[in-house]
Amino acid sequence: MKKIWLASEFIILLALGMYIGLRTSDSKWAGVDESVVEKFAIEANRPPHEPLINIEHGDLPLLLFLLAGAAGGFAAGYSFRGLFPPKDKDERLLTGT
Amino acid sequence: MKSKDRSITVILVFTPLLVLLAVPAYAMHITEGILPAQWALLWFAVSAPFLFLGLRGLRGQQNPQLMPMVGLVGAAVFIISCMPIPVPAAGTCSHPCGTGIAAIFIGPLLTVVVSSIALLLQALFLAHGGLSTLGANLASMGIAGAFAGYGIFILVRRLTGRWWIAAFLCGLLSDWATYSVTSLQLAAALHGTASFGKFFLTVMLAFVPTQVPLGILEGFLCVGAYRFILTRRPELLKIFAVRKEDL
């Protein structure tokens, strides 16, 4: 129950922080690729080309975001489990962890 | 599962997952078409020997824990270098690089290899970076970031004996080294009739408001990751060290 409360508090604080941050800031939150790299490139008459595979079509980036979360977690978790195997039940009982 | 089967499974799982691991990214990667052909080729030539040595080192490794470690570090580099973090002080977003942390765990040459895979997949499938600028991006993130981070870690570890100072500076300076080399690459290719030095400083100063806080964040990330492994499985840190006494 305590964990649920903690998680709820964290979510509320996070949402509140995001709300206040985004309401009070008029920044565009552009990436430095746009605000620095491309800015200097355009000034030097070397504007970027369109990428080979342009993913900016409708909700495609959102889909890829979703896949990214699942796939990234799985890839890292799979490798992590190989390096840090969970303690077996008997060992946990012996060590009390 | 046998060790070899396990390694193959990790590769088979890791590779397509990296392809799918798409996050809209706002970053330092030099976008497709920005560098003139001769500069793009030069940076490919600079990066190629490091990549070759890294691949050769990977083939020579016999340790069964290598592939899971490379898989974990590779996933981390890919995720971290795609993760746009808003910097309120600057009103912009950028990402840490993760190559300093990676270099401590798997060495700088293997970090070049995982960075090249991450950058290639990002260029192909995420519209992030570019194929023509792959060599330049590998030189800044994979090579400069990894070797600067690793070098400073070893140096500070020997001088102070304190792992946390070494790890913090590794994360911090690997990030800054990456963006310094990106500034150098842009200045070299785009300065035109303007002074190279002035152009270089202008680009680098433009990165400062975003990268100073992000470098500090990367320093703390590095300390956290190092501490985790040091506490849980310190022997993993010794496997990939050049000299055991350094870790």
Amino acid, single-letter form, for residue B67: M
Which domains, ranges and CATH numbers included, belong to chain B? Answer: 3-246 (1.10.1760.20)
All structural domains of chain A with their residue ranges: 2-47+58-84
Give the pLDDT confidence of B85-129 residue by residue, as tens digits: 888 778 888 888 899 999 999 999 999 999 999 898 888 877 778
Write down the pLDDT at residue A62: 77
Give the pLDDT confidence of B15-58 residue by residue, as tens digits: 444 433 434 444 558 888 899 999 999 999 999 999 999 999 88
Of B20, B130, B210, the CB nearest to A51: B130
Write down the pLDDT at residue B109: 93
Give the CA distances from residue B237 to residues A75, B16, B67, B202, B225, in Å, rounded to whole numbers and listed in that order: 21, 27, 14, 39, 11
Q: Cβ contact (<8 Å) for B210 and A68?
A: no
Q: Cβ contact (<8 Å) for B34 and A79?
A: no
Write down the pLDDT at residue A6: 92
As a whole number, mean pLDDT of residues B132-144 equals 95
Residues of A in contact with B206 (CB under 8 A): 32, 35-36, 39-40
Write down the pLDDT at residue B126: 77
Write down the pLDDT at residue A56: 83
Pick the residue of A28, A37, A42 with the most B CBs within 10 A to test the interface with B by mutation.
A37
Write down the pLDDT at residue B13: 44
Q: Cβ contact (<8 Å) for A76 and B72?
A: yes
* Residue A94 binned pLDDT confidence (cut-offs 50, 70, 90): low
Res. B212: pLDDT tops 70: yes
B239 versus B36: which is more confidently predicted?
B36
Residues of B in contact with A38 (CB under 8 A): 31, 34
Average pLDDT of chain A to the nearest whole number? 82
Residues of B in contact with A79 (CB under 8 A): 10, 14, 68-69, 71-72, 75
Q: Cβ contact (<8 Å) for B186 and A82?
A: no
Query: Strand B85-87 relative to strand A30-31: parallel, antiparallel, unpaired?
Result: unpaired
